[in-house]
Amino acid sequence: MSTLRTSWPPAAIGAALFAGVTAIVALAGFLQLAAAPEREPAIAVLPLADTHLARAGRALAEPPTPQRLDAAEREARAALKLSPARTEAWLQVAYAERQKAGGWSPAAAQALAQSYRVGPLAPDVGTWRLRFALEHWESLTPELRKAALAELDALWSRYPMRKALKATAAEVGSPAGRLAFAAEVRSLERAARARAAADRKH
């Protein structure tokens, strides 16, 4: 099994946050049900999806075993059945599939691609997703590379995130991934200097 430096969870959606959000949203759903018992129970779908996400996150945060990885993927897919557009759930599936395979796999690639389809820009998990993509850069399809760089470009434009992005890239184990990041950042910085020069002329 090849070593993966990227671990779950992303800092922004760690297991503790998962648990806290789940409790709050679940309470809100319960209060809504209590206030309007005659309504259909569809309003409880979001809290239930978050519960599955929290369980998957806790399982993935533990030392990986086949049983934990299977359980995490089941919970993530259960969340997706209720809320198919949850970017973090698709990333949980991608991470679990990668860990189960001991390296990059078609199933991991499919889940990562779907995470970009439902959430091409996801600031809460964007730095984690970028690192995950960079770690497997040589195995990514051109379409996945394009999606990863597009998100990098968008996140880079938000100045407060540049330090975090650079720190993330510095921890990437793949030389190809680090080179791809450096090349894209150089391109972004050249474009920024060109815009600044053009603005000074006006």
pLDDT, tens digit, 9 for 90 and up, residues 68-108 = 999 999 999 999 999 999 999 999 999 999 999 999 999 99
124 touches 158 (CB < 8 A)? no
pLDDT for the residue 199: 84
Q: Which two tokens stand for residue 172?
A: 């990437």
Residue 14 pLDDT greater than 60, yes or no? no
For the chain, the structural domain boundaries read 11-201
- Of 46-60, 62-76, 159-173, the range with the highest mean pLDDT is 62-76
pLDDT, tens digit, 9 for 90 and up, residues 97-147 = 999 999 999 999 999 999 999 999 999 999 999 999 999 999 999 999 999
pLDDT for the residue 142: 98
d(CA 177, CA 75): 30
State the Cα angle at 89 between 8 and 65, rounded to 5°.
45
* CATH 1.25.40 for the 11-201 domain, yes or no: yes
d(CA 143, CA 128): 19
DSSP reduced 3-state for 72: helix
- Give the length of the chain: 202
